[in-house]
Chains A and B, each alone.
Chain A
């Protein structure tokens, strides 16, 4: 006998993600899911973003790592609430982990939660967390050909941050080739070249994020 199921494989994750999304809409909190490779400068980019927006918004950070709390400590040292999730080997965050993490945060007094996903360009792209937007970081030393190797993450991201642009000449990074590849894969996504540790280019990225936060809060 055949039984029709027509059920999403990630049914449980997707249902919890929708609950998260409804909760964040009700609380008027914009949640940013940040995807990138290990060592691309996720935490430095988060710190630069906090610096640009902390006078206007109340911000918290959820740090996803396989182990350790070094990132949460770096964020916490800046006086920003940081919750560490240790996935214990899992290669991505799931919506139930986000739900548990936000229980430790005061959603009524937050405007922005930045989720630093596990460093990985593959697995996190398939998992809805209930976020307002997925955004990725590619760092210059990773190479301009990454859109060809990891198309999924470039397509899942609403904006693309190109970090460490101050090292472009050292790594022979071809920015035009990179932009052409992204334009084919995801023509709607803006690209923000930044050097997070020097604060370069962060304003344009912060403006994009500010507009998204305002759009949610005025909805």
Chain B
């Protein structure tokens, strides 16, 4: 259930960025979420819809989530490999590896409408 708190933060950050750019409409919010985090895609989407419901800045906007699969680099032989959540040892040499991708919780970009200044 911590997705609700996460999305509340996302919406506030997006609102600030949109207002700083004088946007009157948010069209799309793009996130990257690592599969090694505890954030669930469906729960993020549900929370986003619940929070932005009846918010004119966000009405009709889309949440676009890219799930990032785990990737590690072996500290012994330097081999880089993708893997599932449960097997993190190097498949080449059996050594320990450091996770280099898969823990992302990031707002990548947003798409907004900015009213033409001439029309204002």
Contact = CB atoms under 8 A, between A and B. Distances in A.
Interface of A: 1-13, 90-92, 94, 122-123, 125-127, 148, 151-152, 155, 181, 184-188
Nearest to A12: B9
Nearest to B89: A187
A2 B111 contact: yes
B39 interface: yes
Contacts of B86: 148, 151, 181, 184-185
Contact of B108 (A4, A11, A151): A4
B77 to A, nearest CB: 15
13 contacts: A3-B21, A4-B108, A4-B109, A5-B14, A5-B108, A6-B109, A8-B105, A91-B1, A94-B5, A123-B1, A152-B85, A155-B88, A186-B88
A181 B86 CA distance: 8
Interface residues of B, number: 33
Contact of B2 (A5, A11, A126, A187): A126
B36 interface: yes
A126 B37 contact: yes
B105 A122 contact: no
A6 B1 contact: no
A51 B19 CA distance: 54
B100 interface: no
B23 interface: yes
Contact of B109 (A5, A94, A155): A5
Contact of B106 (A7, A91, A148, A188): A7
Which of A6, A9, A11 neighbours the largest number of chain B CB atoms within 10 Å of its CB? Answer: A9
A151 B18 CA distance: 37
